[in-house]
C-alpha cells in the first residue's frame, strides 16, 4: 500500500514540476545560484560523515544520495 502511495506522491511531484513551467531562472539571474554554498550538496564530505553516522545509529539510511552502507556497523 505504502509503495503505491509513494509512487503516487512521486508522480504527483513530477507532474507538478512539469506543469509549473514558470519555475526557473534566466541565465543572467543565476549569480546567486552559482555560489558554491547554493549547490544541492554544498558540503559533500560533511554529508558523507552524517550519512555514515546516522546509518550506523538508526534504522534508516539514504535519501539524499547513496548514503551510508559499506560498513558492518548495522
Partner 1 sequence: MNRTRELKYRRTTEEFVGSFHAMASPCEVLIQSSSESDARKITDLVCGEAARIEMKYSRYRDDNLVSKIHQHQPVRVDTETARLLDFADTAYSLSDKRFDISSGILRKLWSFTESAKVPSRAQLKLLLPYIGWDKISWDGAIISVPEGMEIDFGGFAKEYAVDSALNLVGSSFEHPVLVNFGGDLAANKPPISRDTWSVGVRKVSNSSKTASFKFKSGAIATSGNRYRYIYHKGKKLSHILNPQTGWPVSNAPVSVSVAMNNCLQAGLFSTLASLLGKDAEQFLTDQEVEHWVQR
Partner 2 sequence: MKYKNIKKAISTASIAALGVTNASDSIIDRMDFNGTLLFYSEPDRVSAVEAIFDSKYYMKNNDVLGLKITVDVLTGASASGAVTTDVDQTFTTPSGNGLYTTRANETPLDDTFKDTRISLSPSWTRRWNSNYKSVIGATISKEYDYLSLSANTMLSYNTDDNNRIYSLGLTFAHDTISPEGDIPIAFGVMQDVGALQPRLGTDDTRITADLLLGITQVIDSKSLFQINYSASASDGYHNDPFKVLSVIGADGRPVIENTTTGLSSAVFENRPDSRLKQSLYFQYKRDMFDSHVLDASYRFMFDDWGVTSHTLDVKYKYRLNDVSYLQPHARIYQQSEADFYMPFIVSGKEPGAGSSSSHASADYRLGEMTGYTIGLEYGRDNVDRPWSIALEYYLQDLGDIKGAFGGINSKAEDVSAVMLRFNMDF
* Site for partner 1, rule CB under 8 A: 27-28, 30-31, 34, 36
Shortest distance in whole angstroms from residue 52 CB to partner 2? 7
Classify residue 68 by burial, with Cβ atoms within 10 Å: 0-12, 13-18, 19+: buried
74 DSSP assignment: -
Q: How many CA atoms lie within 13 A of 28 on its CB side?
A: 0
Number of residues that bind partner 2 (CB under 8 A): 48
Segment holding 57, helix H or strand E: helix 44-57
Instruction: Choose the one of partner 2, partner 1, none that binds residue 46, judging by a C-beta under 5 to 8 angstroms depending on kind.
Output: partner 2
Contact residues toward partner 2 (CB under 8 A) are 2-3, 6, 9-10, 13-14, 17, 23-25, 27, 29-33, 35-38, 40, 42-46, 48-49, 52-54, 57-66, 69-74
Amino acid at each position: 500500500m505504502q509503495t503505491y502511495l509513494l509512487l503516487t506522491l512521486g508522480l504527483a511531484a513530477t507532474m507538478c514540476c512539469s506543469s509549473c513551467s514558470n519555475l526557473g531562472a534566466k541565465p543572467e539571474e543565476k549569480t546567486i545560484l552559482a555560489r558554491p554554498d547554493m549547490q544541492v550538496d554544498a558540503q559533500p564530505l560533511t554529508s558523507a560523515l552524517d550519512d555514515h553516522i546516522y546509518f550506523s545509529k538508526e534504522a534508516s539510511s539514504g535519501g539524499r544520495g547513496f548514503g551510508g552502507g559499506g560498513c558492518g556497523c548495522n
